[in-house]
């Protein structure tokens, strides 16, 4: 069943008197439960496509169906609601609130979704245990290592049970050992049934995904099944 279906998506930006065509007509289908890496050199359009997939931006033309909803022409308020409900974001820079515990950082998206305080605490506790931080729930970000901070960010992404986990260079600020630990965590998340879209420029990180989509000059250059999936134990 298709979770994401984009048809002839174009995105233009105006720079002075010039129109820059960043995405030039992309067709893409991602099914529920897939693990996809989105790759491409600087200027390929992968960041723009990621922003569209994450409902952080809307296309100039074309259609984007996400989990049965046409999000191509939605208002900012509707997009915010879709983001909160359907998409869990993991960023390179963690994006945690500094003077706030891991538990409260993770529970934050549930406030916007309207959950009660007791439900927020219970669910945030559950996902922090899931990512191996059951003993760090009362710690603030500056009391955690980089890998632990990224685990908090992953837990926050999972807390509202989204349709998609969208990870943008999730190991970019981590050393190689910690990167492997975080990618193993994404393997577990995918094995639990989540759809994972990973945006990266690193081949060894993309190797964890089951499908690799490469962009070049605003178009899909290749879309291949990964026969050599990386699994560390």
- Tell me: pLDDT of 228 over 90: no
How many CB atoms lie under 10 A from the CB of residue 51? 15
Q: What is the pLDDT of residues 165-205, one digit of tens each?
A: 999 999 999 999 999 999 999 999 999 999 999 999 899 99
The domain locations on the chain are 32-58+75-225
pLDDT exceeds 80 at position 4: yes
Q: Where are the alpha helices (DSSP H) in the chain?
A: 46-53, 76-86, 102-112, 117-130, 146-158, 176-191, 203-206
C-alpha to C-alpha distances, 106 to 55, 124, 159, nearest whole angstrom: 21, 6, 7
pLDDT at 230 over 80: no
Q: Residue 219 — very low, low, confident or very high, per pLDDT cuts 50/70/90?
A: very high
Give the single-character DSSP code of 202. -
Compute the distance between CA of residue 148 and CA of residue 98 in angstroms, rounded to an integer: 14
Superfamily of the domain at 32-58+75-225: P-loop containing nucleotide triphosphate hydrolases (3.40.50.300)
How far apart CA 8 and CA 218 sit, in angstroms, is: 11
């Amino acid at each position: 069943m298709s979770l994401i279906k984009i048809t002839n998506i174009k995105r233009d930006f105006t720079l002075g008197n010039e129109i820059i065509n960043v995405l030039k007509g992309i067709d893409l289908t991602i099914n529920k439960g897939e693990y996809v890496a989105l790759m491409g050199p600087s200027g390929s359009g992968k960041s723009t496509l990621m922003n569209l997939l994450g409902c952080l931006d809307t296309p100039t033309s074309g259609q984007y169906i996400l989990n049965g909803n046409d999000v191509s022409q939605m208002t900012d308020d509707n997009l915010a609601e879709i983001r909160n409900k359907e998409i869990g974001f993991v960023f390179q820079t963690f994006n945690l609130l500094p003077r706030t515990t891991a538990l409260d950082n993770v529970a934050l998206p549930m406030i916007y979704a309207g959950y009660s305080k007791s439900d927020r605490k219970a669910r945030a506790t559950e996902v922090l245990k899931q990512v191996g931080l059951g003993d760090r729930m009362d710690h603030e970000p500056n009391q955690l290592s980089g890998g632990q901070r990224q685990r908090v960010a992953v837990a926050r992404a999972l807390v509202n049970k989204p349709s998609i986990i969208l990870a943008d260079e999730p190991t970019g600020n981590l050393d190689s050992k910690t990167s492997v630990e975080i990618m193993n965590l994404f393997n577990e998340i995918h094995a639990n049934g989540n759809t994972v879209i990973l945006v990266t420029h690193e081949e060894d990180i993309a190797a964890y995904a089951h499908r690799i989509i490469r962009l070049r000059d605003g178009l899909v250059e290749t879309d291949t099944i990964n026969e050599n999936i990386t699994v560390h134990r």
